[in-house]
Each structure stands twice: as C-alpha cells, then as structure tokens.
Structure 1
Amino acid sequence: MMLTSLSPTTPAVSILIPCRNEKDHIEGCIRSILKQQAPEESYEVIIADGMSDDGTREILQRLSEEDPRIRVIDNPGRIVSTGLNEAISSARGRIIIRMDAHTSYAPNYIQECIKVLTESGADNVGGPWVAKGAGKISCAIAAAFQSPFGVGGARGHDPNFEGIVDTVYLGCWPKDVFAKHGPFDEELVRNQDDEYNLRITRNGGRIYQSPRIRSWYRPRGSLRALFRQYMQYGYWKVRVIQKHKLPASLRHLIPGCFVLSVICLPLIALGWFPAIWAWGGVVGLYGLLNLLASISTARQKGWGLIWVLPIVFACYHFAYGVGFLRGIWDFVVIRKGPQEFFTKLSRQTASHS
C-alpha cells in the first residue's frame, strides 16, 4: 500500500480517540501523542467525546485551541463503537489509527503503525496487547493477561508474535477499509473491535500483528472491576457469534462450557450419582491447571503475586463464562435485548472496548 500525495493542509493520518469522563487521563494522553516521533506524513488528532460531564470537555477545548491538529467532536451514543464511527466520518486522513486514553505508547508507535501497514498490505495492523499494572492486584491482573492459560493461548497477547491474527489491539487501517466493510457495529457495547476484525477476515481481508508496534494497556485495579469487565466481554461475544453464525476461535466457547459443567453436573448428580465424580474431575483438573499456571506466571513476574494469581485466573474464566451463558439466555433463548448491567462500561470511560 502506498500513500498518495496530499495537499499540505490535508493530513494523511487521522488518530482517533473515543473518550468519556477522562479528566484525570485525557490531557496526558493527548500530550504524549503530540510528542510522538512525527511521521513523514502530516496527522490530525480527533477526540470523539461521549458527552463528558466531569470537566473532560473543558480540557479538550483548551487543548484544541492550543494546537490546530486537535479536533473535538460529539459522540452522542457515548460508547466506543459510536465514537469510532463519528470520528471516522470526520477523519480527513488516508490512514486511520485508533488510540486509547488508558494506554501508553512507545515514542515511535505512530511511525511503526504506518510502516507495518505499508509493508504488510493488511487491512488492519496493530501490536500485541500487553498489560502493565500498578499495585499488587493490578500487576497480578496484568501478569495473568499475558499468560496462555489466562487468555486461552490467544496470539494477540504474545508480545513476541508477528504474523496473521484473528484480532489485534486498537488498530491501524487504510480509510478505504471502512468503505469496503462498513462502520463499527453500534449495537455492541463491548467486542466491537473483535466483531469488525471478524467481518474483515470473513470477507477475505487480513489482520496483521507486529511486535514493532509497542504499547502498554493499563488493566483494571480490582478483582470486582475485572469480574464485571469479563462478564461483559463474555456476554457480548454471544451477540458477535450470533451475528456471524460461528466463533472466530473455539477458545471463545471454553469458559462458558466450563462454567456450565460446574453448575449442571451437581444437578445431574441428584438423579445420577456418578455425575458428581465427573464434577470433581472437572473442578480438580481446573484447580491443578490454575495452580501450575500461577506458579509459572509468578516465576516470571514475581513470587509476590503467587497468592493472588489463582483468584485472578478464576475471575477471568468464571466471569467470561457466566457472561457468556447469560448472553445465550438473553440473545438466543428468550431473544430479549441486552440488560442494563451489560450496557454500562465497567470503567467510567468509553475509550476502550
């Protein structure tokens, strides 16, 4: 893919940031983006504000007055997918790069996005999804986030993997990809990036990951917030699968099957006692795998995390599984719209899916 020449006043690259109520983070995020090693092409920064009411909008207005590269637009839908669509419609660049207020970036992040997009010819490129915590719980959540046991071996969490993946963190696209594949699905409060990447691959496109594109995601800081976040991921994954008639990967089905077996086998045992042995086998095997993964992760990330990691792994798996089963109930069995609990983001932001 080659960039065509543009007039000096037209940016070649549009950086998009959906946000809502980010007064503590948004200024630092934008200033760090403006300090990036400048790409050869000119760029603009578009912030789609989800009608913030905590002072974020005033900060954005001040920043946009200081630097003409910054533009602020409204996102009345107040969620990521609507914010992205508003920003894409407003973007003037030939390349679209999505960034997030809760992520820090290598100084050459924008440069590498453009280089990898050009070299790979892919429809979407990005770097590995790497978490960096602050505090014991957050660091344990981040450590489990990079563990194959924690995320089912997803290559997108491998900081060293380069190649074709089924989805990628954030993203960098030629703008004409959105003319070809359509906008983000505004029904989805979560998983809209997964759904869009699935749509691209189902239509013959490619998603490419490169470790040269480096960023560090800040995970949730409590087990309660993590549990709610992953319940929502599991819940909305059902809607994505329902729309496309099949999952992007079998790993998306495993937590739901696991939680279903933990719930149902004791009930089956009321009429057929041997089922309790099957339940014990499932729970025992999971406990063993959890313990081994916790030891392996603590050996790499620090032994101080060993007492927290088993609980963190269980939060990831049980929350996703419970959310997935509730999604099946709401979307498939009773065919009812999403419940309010699953439409409100678990962090007071609309900046990441």
Structure 2
Amino acid sequence: MILLALFLVSVYASAILRGWYAWKKIPIPKLSPDTPPAFFSVIIPVRNEGQNIISLLQDLERQQYPASHYEVIVVDDHSEDATPELVRQFQGQTSMSLTLLFLANFPGKRQKKAAVEIGIRHAQGDWIACTDGDCRLSPQWLQTFNQIRQSENPKMISGPVMYAPTQTLWQQLQALEFSALIGVGAASIAVQKPTMCNGANLAYEKAAFFAVNGFQGNEQVPSGDDEFLLHKIHQKYPGQITFAKAGEAVVQTPPAATVSQFLHQRVRWASKWKYYQSWSSQVLAVVVLGANISVLVVLLGAVFNYWPWWLGGIVLTTKIVPDALLLQQVLGLFGKKRLLSLLWLLQLVYVPYIVLTAVLGLRGKYHWKGRQLRTA
C-alpha cells in the first residue's frame, strides 16, 4: 500500500513541479498605449446580484480603454431581487455603452450558459470578455487583454481570479485552495494541455466561439461555460490559448460565506468532471484525487501504527513541497504570499473535502443562486 501511495503522490508531485516550471515561463505582458485597440463586448450574466452589480459597472466605467472600443452587456437570468432596476438606473447616468437583456424574453433559455450565449449573439465586438456580477476589476483589465491579444495572437485568454476579502481564517483557506486551482489551470495552458479556467475572467474571439458551435454538446450541464469552451477551442486551435499573468488582469471575487455555500459551489465544479472529453483533464482529476487519498490513507495508517510515522512524513512532504513552490508563484501575483503559512492546515482539511466533493460531484445535485440544480 505504501508503494502505491508513494507512486501516486510522486506522479502528482511531478505534474505540479512541471506546472511550477511552466508558470515561471509564462510571459508577463508589458502594457503600451500605442497598441491598436480591438472592440470588446463585455458579457455579464447575472442573477440576484443587487448587492454587487453597481460596483462592477463602476469598475467598467473606469476602464483605461477607449470608450468607443468596448460595450457592456448585462444579461439578467430571472433575478428575484433589484438587479435589473439597478442596472437601468446606472444606464441613465453613464456615458458607457451599456445594454440590459432579459433571459426571460428568450423562451426556453435559462442559466448561465444561455445568458452568455444571448449576450454574445447581441455583441458588436470582435472579442468577448466575460466576468461575473460579483467581481471587481482593475482599470487596466481590458487594456491587458488587448495587449495580449496583439502580442500573442491567441483565440482565447484565460485570466487570473483571486478571492477577496481574506480577513478570516475561513476566507484565507478558501483563497489558498482557489489560488492552487488558478495556478494549475494557468500551467496546463502554458504546456498546451489546458484543463481549467474561470468564467469570471475570460476573453475570446467571437468568431472562435461560433467556430466551435459555442456551448453546443454540453447544454445538459448547468455549469461549464468556461472549461468546456476552453477544451473545444483548444481542440480546434491548438496552441492558441494563453494565460494573462499580470496583476492588472486579476479579477477579485468574494469567497463563499458559509460552509454549505462552499460545498455546493465545489460540487457544482466537480459535477463537470465526468463530462470532460479532454483526456488531460480527466487524468489530472484522477491524479489529484489519487494523491490526496494516498496522503489520507498513509497518515491514518501511521496513526494506527500500520507503518512508521517517517513513511507518512515522506509521502506528505512529497506532495506538499511542490504545492508550496507553485503557490508561492501564484500568491506572488496576487500579493498574498503570507497565505502560504496556512498550507499545512489546508492539507489536513483538503483531503477529506476533495474526496467528499468528488463523490457528491458524481451525483451532480446542488443548490446555486436559489435554484436546485442537477446535471443530466
């Protein structure tokens, strides 16, 4: 059993070390005011974001990007709060090009994928930029996307997302774990085997979206507006996806407020795994799960004296050192390196959590935005 655990953790460590090296090689864009601006259509699917939407719209209004070269399209997904009214009020006082669409006006259209698709079909821009209603953006967000578009000529750009605020221990542990996901996703793109990205910070050619038939083929999965599209664009345009490794591109989003909300969010993410057609994504999911189960089994074996503690220490060290190396890079981008001191604590709670979410993800049943959802 120990040999199997060492093997699985070693494979995991090798993958993470490769990711760490790939992250270091991702170029950092240098913003230039002379870069020709593309026209961006910013798509924001929203549901019950009355507490957040105005702050996001103000961030977009403050973009250091030519006002003539971007528009904002908010697509309301049957909100039950004041979100639409707030957007309408903002429309009346801004000079920014702002459109409000209602998913209710399109029969049979519900949930985030449909909202994004409707927004794209009404978009004037050659490039689509996506974010969520509870996010915050830097003033150089669009400028950074445009710089990468010009310098690297990609079909899709995945952007970094970080949790904020991170004042409590609960928020800090979430931020640390989420940063690892961002790092792995960025590294997988860098080695041209993209596995994951985040729809809160994503840009792509509108033509590429239609060339891969958008979200067609995975409509039965409520989530996945980001990763399924990532896999489809990579399949059609290999090597033409890049990651925006720039502080100006970072999008902030709040961590889950409660344990229940957190678990439902992670089950929602895990429910996509069984629908992945990308073998690299499937293999990575299995390796991560196998390595974490190995750590749990070995540590429990040491507790019950099945083998010495030093063997458990070797297994744990083999996993945690590569994690620390990658996280140090990602947290450096976010300006949150101090969170690395919590890695030992995260490891203790992460193992049972990932096993639980993997099992619940196979069921595909969860609550989100006031809805009971289930993958087909």
TM beyond 0.5: yes
Tell me, yes or no, if structure 1 residue 146 matches structure 2 residue 183: no
Tell me, yes or no, if structure 1 residue 156 matches structure 2 residue 189: no
Provide the residue aligned with 2:155 in structure 1: 123
Query: What is the alpha-carbon distance in structure 1 between the residues aligned to residue 75 and residue 64 of structure 2?
Result: 23
Quote how far apart the aligned CAs of 1:122 are: 0.9
Map 1:151-300; keep pairs closer than 5 Å: 151=181, 154-156=184-186, 166=194, 167-169=196-198, 170-184=201-215, 185-205=218-238, 206-212=240-246, 213-239=249-275, 241=276, 244=277, 246-248=279-281, 250-257=283-290, 300=337
Quote how far apart the aligned CAs of 1:45 are: 0.6
Given residue 212 of structure 2, which amino acid in structure 1 is its aligned partner? H
The answer (yes or no) to whether the contact 2:44–2:132 under 8 Å persists in 1 is yes
Provide the residue aligned with 2:360 in structure 1: 323
Provide the residue aligned with 2:24 in structure 1: none
Higher relative contact order (CA 8 A, sep 6+): 2
The answer (yes or no) to whether the contact 1:138–1:222 under 8 Å persists in 2 is no
Map 1:42-81; keep pairs closer than 5 Å: 42-67=69-94, 69-76=97-104, 77-81=109-113
User: Cα distance 1:130–1:286, how it changes in 2: closer, same or farther (>3 A)?
Assistant: farther
User: Cα distance 1:238–1:162, how it changes in 2: closer, same or farther (>3 A)?
Assistant: closer
Query: What per-residue deviation string (whole Å, max 9, x for no partner) do you get for residues 242-269 of structure 1?
Result: xx273535212235556888999xxxxx
Provide the residue aligned with 2:7 in structure 1: none
The structure with more helix, counted as a fraction of residues:
2
Structure 2: where are the runs of 5+ without partners?
A: 1-34, 298-304, 329-335, 372-376
Given residue 134 of structure 1, which amino acid in structure 2 is its aligned partner? T
The answer (yes or no) to whether the contact 2:171–2:255 under 8 Å persists in 1 is yes
Quote how far apart the aligned CAs of 1:234 are: 1.4
Given residue 110 of structure 1, which amino acid in structure 2 is its aligned partner? L
Provide the residue aligned with 1:20 in structure 2: 47
Q: SS of the counterpart of 1:130?
A: strand
Quote how far apart the aligned CAs of 1:316 are: 5.0
The answer (yes or no) to whether the contact 1:124–1:173 under 8 Å persists in 2 is yes
Q: SS of the counterpart of 2:75?
A: strand
Query: What is the alpha-carbon distance in structure 1 between the residues aligned to residue 280 and residue 324 of structure 2?
Result: 31
Provide the residue aligned with 1:271 in structure 2: none
Query: What is the alpha-carbon distance in structure 2 between the residues aligned to residue 259 and residue 78 of structure 1?
Result: 36
User: Cα distance 1:210–1:259, how it changes in 2: closer, same or farther (>3 A)?
Assistant: closer
State the Cα RMSD in Å.
4.0
Given residue 250 of structure 1, which amino acid in structure 2 is its aligned partner? V
Query: What is the alpha-carbon distance in structure 2 between the residues aligned to residue 118 and residue 111 of structure 1?
Result: 11
Provide the residue aligned with 1:39 in structure 2: 66
Q: SS of the counterpart of 1:115?
A: helix
Query: What is the alpha-carbon distance in structure 2 between the residues aligned to residue 55 and residue 72 of structure 1?
Result: 13
Q: SS of the counterpart of 2:219?
A: coil
Quote how far apart the aligned CAs of 1:348 are: 5.2
Query: What is the alpha-carbon distance in structure 1 between the residues aligned to residue 355 and residue 90 of structure 2?
Result: 42
Query: What is the alpha-carbon distance in structure 2 between the residues aligned to residue 54 and residue 66 of structure 1?
Result: 21
Query: What per-residue deviation string (whole Å, max 9, x for no partner) do you get for residues 278-328 of structure 1?
Result: 9x999988766787789997994258847853455236522442234x25x
Given residue 279 of structure 2, which amino acid in structure 1 is its aligned partner? L
Given residue 263 of structure 2, which amino acid in structure 1 is its aligned partner? F
The answer (yes or no) to whether the contact 1:14–1:91 under 8 Å persists in 2 is yes
Aligned structure 1 segments of 4 or more residues deviating by more than 6 angstroms: 258-264, 280-299
Query: What per-residue deviation string (whole Å, max 9, x for no partner) do you get for residues 131-189 of structure 1?
Result: 33433211221022224xxx49614289xx97856144331122111221112243221
Q: What is the number of equivalent residue pairs in this alignment?
A: 308
Query: What is the alpha-carbon distance in structure 2 between the residues aligned to residue 21 and residue 73 of structure 1?
Result: 14
Quote how far apart the aligned CAs of 1:42 are: 2.1
TM-score, normalised on structure 1?
0.72
Given residue 115 of structure 1, which amino acid in structure 2 is its aligned partner? Q
The answer (yes or no) to whether the contact 2:295–2:316 under 8 Å persists in 1 is no
Structure 1: where are the runs of 5+ without partners?
A: 6-10, 265-275, 328-337
Quote how far apart the aligned CAs of 1:52 are: 0.6
Given residue 38 of structure 1, which amino acid in structure 2 is its aligned partner? Y
Quote how far apart the aligned CAs of 1:22 are: 0.6
Higher mean displacement: 61-70 or 295-304: 295-304
Higher mean displacement: 125-134 or 251-260: 251-260
User: Cα distance 1:28–1:40, how it changes in 2: closer, same or farther (>3 A)?
Assistant: closer
Provide the residue aligned with 1:90 in structure 2: 122
